[in-house]
Amino acid sequence: MSVDVAIFLEGQNGLNWGNWKRIVRSVEDLGFAALYRSDHFTNMRPPDIDSLELWISLAWLADNTSRMEFGQLVSPISFRNPIFAARMAKDLDDLSGGRFILGLGAGWQEHEHEKFGFDLLKIGPRFDRFEEGVEVVHRLLKGEGPASFSGKYFHLNEAELLPRPQRKGGPPILIGGRGRKRTLPLIARLADEWNMGFRPAETFAALNTYLDELLVSEGRRPEEIRRTIANTIFFGRDDREVKRKIEESDYSEDGIKKFGMIVGTGQEIADRIGEYEEAGAQRVMLQWLDLDDLDGLEALAKAIL
């Protein structure tokens, strides 16, 4: 396979310093292209369990790895101020020697916003705020000299982040989503990478073609944006192990089919990744649910890398 394969973790599902350090070292040593994690305070539903703070954990990763890329899927503008996000992102990128990818999103999980007092907003205003946030990040990282911006939610007045990013334009801006009306047009205008999550290859292929059209209308070349997919994986060394992992999860067979989850033993996983590659994906991010199953992670690497 020529497509990159990365690992994606749900940091709110029991991540702490012990298992984070073990996973980071394993993903780096096993040869995966990158490691991503979500940015949440809690699960969608109680009980709440361990959830390691995202930016602090990525700073440790940046200084304790040397090869793989890393980032988040994604940091919500609803509780991550875009000015701080841009500032931390360029410093993380510099610390890692240019390996960080800045993933941004509008926010969606009601439970954590209610518990910690953040205003999620209704869908329309939420996306208005997100668009402003991405614009602010883009101006701070990719503009030349001081930046100004006057919006409803965010403001800049001749603001400049110093020192400037060592990588020209700073780390790539990743935006995830499938929305044809607002998300994909925003990606075509301001992003460096598009990520689609939890859908089959045929859905990815259709939206990938649509994104090409939007990029051309923005005066950009299609190759200017990297295309990536994130999806849940149920991998086993044999069919029995695959079946056990599915039975232990919260997903039904219908749900697995609807979301196009990547299920099977080594060759079956490789075949599914190949389907995404044929649909135009340049990187496949495998959502690894068991944070303590490093033996399974090693077996997966041997089977598909």
pLDDT, one tens digit per residue, over 271-295 is 999 999 999 999 999 999 999 999 9
> What's the CATH code of the domain at 245?
3.20.20.30
Is residue 20 within 8 A of residue 300, CB to CB? The reply is no
Distance between CA atoms of residues 204 and 196, nearest Å:
7
Distance between CA atoms of residues 155 and 150, nearest Å:
5
Exposed/middle/buried for residue 13 (C-beta within 10 Å: 0-12, 13-18, 19+):
middle
Q: Print the domain residue range for 35.
A: 4-304
Tell if the pTM clears 0.85, that is, is over it.
yes
Is residue 100 within 8 A of residue 62, CB to CB? The reply is yes
Distance between CA atoms of residues 90 and 101, nearest Å:
10
Residues 1-15, mean pLDDT to the nearest whole number: 92
Mean pLDDT rounded to a whole number for the chain? 95
Is residue 101 within 8 A of residue 172, CB to CB? The reply is yes
Distance between CA atoms of residues 223 and 203, nearest Å:
20
pLDDT in tens, 183-234: 999 999 999 999 999 999 999 999 999 999 999 999 999 999 999 999 999 9
Exposed/middle/buried for residue 127 (C-beta within 10 Å: 0-12, 13-18, 19+):
buried
pLDDT(1) > 80: no
pLDDT in tens, 105-135: 999 999 999 999 999 999 999 999 999 999 9
Q: Which residues of 69-89 are buried (b: 16+ CB within 10 A; e: fewer)?
A: bbbbbbbbbbbbebbebbbbb
Dihedral sign for Cα 203, 128, 226, 32, please.
negative
What does the pLDDT read at residue 238?
92
**pLDDT band of 72, cuts 50, 70, 90:** very high
What does the pLDDT read at residue 249?
86
pLDDT(146) > 90: yes
Is residue 34 within 8 A of residue 4, CB to CB? The reply is yes
What's the number of domains the chain is made of? 1
> For residue 105, what are the β-bridge partners?
76
CA angle 149, 104, 42 (to 5 degrees): 125
Distance between CA atoms of residues 212 and 229, nearest Å:
16
**pLDDT band of 248, cuts 50, 70, 90:** confident
